[in-house]
Structure 1
């Protein structure tokens, strides 16, 4: 976390009102968190910081791409992501981040590090099922898809298996004649 000093926002010297902070997030950002699920990252994070007399309001928005493997074919592709998060910062006797949208800083605090919030917003904006766009439109050609096509169960075979032997049907009639 030592490499993330650029994400410190010193709010003591800022005037009341709205302030905009922009960050370009790359792979080195995630290396600081020891997160290696993304092969490459190109995300722009915009933070609107509104300073009021008794509290602060943060509005995080992200937009960009992360390079991840497809869950079906394991081919790498750039997955577009976007997300937003609102955070209210209040002051109290001690640090408290138990709530998702409210952060309480101690009275003596003079800056806030927003790296953790950007990290969580990017990671949570990636869908759990990551499918290459060429798989969904049917234009993807890969060994994994060919193998899945070979192993797919034919519907014709299942219809043949469902038809029963007529001798068993006669026995079933005996059970229902009671």
Structure 2
């Protein structure tokens, strides 16, 4: 994948100390990664880049919203996201990104591309189960919700159901009460 130029930080000319970078992430960024889960994106990522004599420290902070579809009703809604991540960049003999929090780049490297870390920061901030807030508070009315309610199994409180139970289960239920 070709790196995006705006997410490459040339640190060789920077002074030792903290530097701030702000990024506006929109849908075009995720199209570059061929990620199609989001309908629209509006996320601000603030990166505090601290250059030290032997290493680099990056602190990522993302906040904003992504428009996604609900898992139950497929209705689009804005999911607020907040996430932070710290990364330490060290210099070594060869490139190594096996550790989550530490990136080792070869000596002589003069720039670092952070687009992959921003991508992962935002994608991992979205909850696994995506439920429209209108479902939780009862304000969302949709045909899909009505159909789900209609097709969900109902508990019968009739005594007829007790008679239809296999008698072997009754014997097993006695084991629960015999202690």
* TM-score, length basis structure 2: 0.88
Question: Structure 2: how far apart are the matches of 1:160 and 1:150?
Answer: 23
Task: Give aligned pairs, total.
Answer: 168
Question: Structure 2: how far apart are the matches of 1:160 and 1:65?
Answer: 51
Question: Structure 1: how far apart are the matches of 2:77 and 2:87?
Answer: 32
Q: Which residue of 2 aligns with 1:97?
A: 97
Q: Which residue of 1 aligns with 2:67?
A: 67
Question: Structure 2: how far apart are the matches of 1:19 and 1:161?
Answer: 73
Q: Which runs of 5+ in 1 are unaligned?
A: 173-178
Superposition pairs of residues 90-129 of structure 1, within 5 angstroms: 90-129=90-129
Q: Which residue of 2 aligns with 1:15?
A: 15
Equivalent position SS for 1:163:
helix
Judge conservation of contact 2:3–2:115 (CA < 8 Å) in 1.
no
Per-residue deviation, residues 11-48 of structure 1 (Å, max 9, x unmatched): 00000011110000000001111111111000000000
Q: Which runs of 5+ in 2 are unaligned?
A: 172-179
Q: CA deviation at 1:153?
A: 1.8
Equivalent position SS for 1:117:
helix
Question: Structure 2: how far apart are the matches of 1:113 and 1:142?
Answer: 44
Per-residue deviation, residues 23-78 of structure 1 (Å, max 9, x unmatched): 00000001111111111000000000111000010000100111100001100011
Equivalent position SS for 1:144:
helix
Q: Does 1:42 align with 2:42?
A: yes
Q: Does 1:164 align with 2:163?
A: yes
Question: Structure 2: how far apart are the matches of 1:159 and 1:18?
Answer: 71
Question: Structure 2: how far apart are the matches of 1:147 and 1:120?
Answer: 36
Question: Structure 2: how far apart are the matches of 1:160 and 1:138?
Answer: 33
Equivalent position SS for 1:29:
helix
Q: CA deviation at 1:2?
A: 3.7
* TM-score, length basis structure 1: 0.89
Question: Structure 1: how far apart are the matches of 2:93 and 2:160?
Answer: 72
Question: Structure 1: how far apart are the matches of 2:15 and 2:158?
Answer: 74
Question: Structure 1: how far apart are the matches of 2:158 and 2:47?
Answer: 58
The structure carrying a bigger helix percent of its residues is 1
Question: Structure 2: how far apart are the matches of 1:34 and 1:140?
Answer: 31
Per-residue deviation, residues 124-174 of structure 1 (Å, max 9, x unmatched): 11111000000000111001100011112222x255454227xx69x97xx
